[in-house]
Amino acid sequence: MKFKNYKACIDYLFSLERAGIKYDLNNIRTLASLTGNPQRKFKSVHIAGTNGKGSVASVLSSILMEKGVKTGLYTSPHVRDFRERIRVNGKMIPKDYVVKFTEKYYNDIGKITPSFFEATTAMAFRYFAESGVEIAVVECGLGGRLDSTNILKPLVSVITSISIDHTEYLGNNLKSITYEKAGIIKKGVPCVIAKLRNESAARIKKTCRERKSPLTESAKSVTIKVTAEDESGLAFNASSEYYNVKDLRLPLAGSYQPVNMKTVFGVLDVLSGKYKIRFSESELRRGISKVTKNTGFDFRFRAVGKNPYVICDVSHNTEGIKNMRDTLKRFAYKNLYVIFGMMSDKEYRKCINELEKLNGFLILTKPAYKRAAEPEMLYAAVGNRKRCVMKPAVKDAYAYASSKAGKRDMILVTGSFFLVSDFLKIYKTKWLKP
């Protein structure tokens, strides 16, 4: 098969979503075998969690890069470009590689009928192997136990948080979801966890004992002291078993980032202790401060405009929105206008309930994506409809918000990655750099 161009190839890959999610490891094992089992040719850090995966993965990747380690980074989803998902030393996978890989394995993909994520995971691992990646930082796409990335045997397994999400695949309670996340813990491989609810922590500890996996509870072993914060990020001191560094600067805002930084230093301690991969103070300082530049990680509570404030945030579950609410307490604004859109298979009712606690004005809209919920569907979940309108497209929602918001107000664009992606296509500002 020969594709006319890169866009035709990407359209084909996204069409694989119609096959649906195959929540088992059969397809990815077959694809991995056909592509030479590339996952065996590089070391890895494997990260699962409901929220926080992207921040932890990106900061770790940036620190490894600053150490001079050839580093792969696999995250999802993307905001503006599919190639954001697959990077080596910060550079996105080339378009021609995406096309050549897909053409080469087109017939195999047709026979196996993998999902989009299965196919792109195989692509990422093959690209890492061919690029000579030394350590890849790999984020789970869904759950953990049967996620396509779980064919890795990592240096360390990481669990950032556990809450209710993807209930159709992972179950509708913490016990079942924790079971799925714990599935990334491998026999004898160290595990690092963030602060978890008691029920989840107990389950993880039990799994680690059973699999003889040394456990690091970063909430207990690492101290993060925030010394300053604003819309551009935070300054903090970090103290752990192997590191004691002051005045680190993270260009990511959010009340939850200190928790993520504890997780990062928990992983660094494991790499330093068990694997003797030590990091200098300058490597840590550069890696943390240059995370957005090195990895392209962005739009987790990102201020993109001022007078009025314009904030982009890809919170697409209730835990994420609760975290966002905490972060908003640090901002001074008069009126809040919330542009919100979400996928129809997400828990949008609970998310809207959390958003209404902000006492802002809701503008419900629909990203240009087939799984997006119709505004009418979202509207049915709203409690106070006097403080809510529906707009058919993101450009209409922003036009309405900008016509209402004064200089002392805030426009918050939140929900689906696809919503933020559509917004960025129409929003022009000097604050946004490619």
**Which of 269, 276, 279, 288 has the alpha carbon at shortest distance from 192?**
269
Shared-domain flag, residues 165 and 65 = yes
Residue 54 falls inside a structural domain: yes
Residue 1 falls inside a structural domain: no
Number of Cβ within 10 Å of residue 210's Cβ equals: 11
Question: Looking at residue 402, which CATH number applies to its domain?
Answer: 3.90.190.20
Shared-domain flag, residues 277 and 410 = no
Residue 415 falls inside a structural domain: yes
Q: How far apart are CA 47 and CA 35, in angstroms?
A: 23
Q: Which two tokens stand for residue 316?
A: 């697409």
Shared-domain flag, residues 265 and 291 = yes
Q: Which of 295, 327, 349 is the last residue of a domain?
A: 295
Q: Which of 295, 323, 340 is the last residue of a domain?
A: 295
Q: How far apart are CA 39 and CA 114, in angstroms?
A: 18
Q: Mean pLDDT in each 10-residue stretch from start to end of the chain (434 residues)?
A: 95 81 84 98 96 95 98 94 97 98 97 95 98 98 92 98 61 81 97 95 97 98 95 93 98 91 98 98 98 90 90 88 88 95 89 95 94 95 96 97 97 94 85 52
Which residue type, as a one-letter code, is found at position 239? S
Shared-domain flag, residues 206 and 337 = no
Q: How far apart are CA 176 and CA 172, in angstroms?
A: 7
Tell me the CA distances in angstroms from 205 to 164, 194, 219, 343, 351, one per residue in order.
Answer: 20, 12, 14, 34, 30
* DSSP string for 273-288: HTS-----HHHHHHHH
Shared-domain flag, residues 336 and 286 = no
Give the residue numbers spanning the domain of 286: 6-295
Which residue type, as a one-letter code, is found at position 376? E
Shared-domain flag, residues 391 and 365 = yes
Shared-domain flag, residues 316 and 331 = yes
Shared-domain flag, residues 208 and 231 = yes
Pairing of strands 156-159, 71-74: unpaired
Q: Which of 271, 295, 319 is the last residue of a domain?
A: 295
Q: By the 8 A CB rule, do 161 and 219 touch?
A: no
Shared-domain flag, residues 76 and 185 = yes
Q: Give me the pLDDT at residue 317, please.
A: 86
Question: Looking at residue 110, which CATH number applies to its domain?
Answer: 3.40.1190.10
Q: Give me the pLDDT at residue 434, please.
A: 42
Shared-domain flag, residues 284 and 312 = no
Domains of the chain: total: 2
Residue 190 falls inside a structural domain: yes
Residue 349 falls inside a structural domain: yes
DSSP element (H, E) containing 127: helix 116-131
φ and ψ of 217, to 5 deg: -95, 100
Shared-domain flag, residues 246 and 98 = yes
Q: How far apart are CA 215 and CA 240, in angstroms?
A: 15
For 23, counting Cβ atoms within 10 Å of its Cβ (0-12 exposed, 13-18 middle, 19+ buried), the class is: middle
